[in-house]
Amino acid sequence: MIRHVVLLRFSPEADDQDVARLCRALSSLPASVPEIRRYRFGSDLGLADGNADFAIVADFDDADAWRRYADHPAHKAVITESIAPILADRSAAQIEIPDSPEP
């Protein structure tokens, strides 16, 4: 399994309405992109200084499924319409997760 982790920092102009709009857009992706196995996201809780503002974690069966998600028109629309307008910085990684249950 492939886990895709994205950390976002928002521009100073981003407000609560922008983040709510982003959450609504992200919520629509699992129904639109069949490759998504698990999809979680949310705002940082503010427990430590220097954290990103927002995180997205998505699981896929394999690298090909992740690539189809990355290229999917619905995913690209969320990036263009809901992320890019408020984005200051983005970081991401894809890691392999064993098929056995997590500890």
For 16-73, the pLDDT digits (tens) are 999 999 999 999 999 999 999 999 999 999 999 999 999 999 999 999 999 999 999 9
- Give how many domains the chain has, as a whole number: 1
Q: Any residues with CB less than 8 A from the CB of 87 and at least 6 apart, and which?
A: 8, 9, 10, 11
Joined together, the tokens standing for residue 39 give 């999809």
pLDDT confidence of residue 99: 76
The Cα 29–Cα 34 span in angstroms is 9
Q: Is 27 within the bounds of a domain?
A: yes
CATH code for the domain of 75 = 3.30.70.100
Give the domain extent around 29. 2-92
Q: Is the pLDDT of residue 102 over 70?
A: no
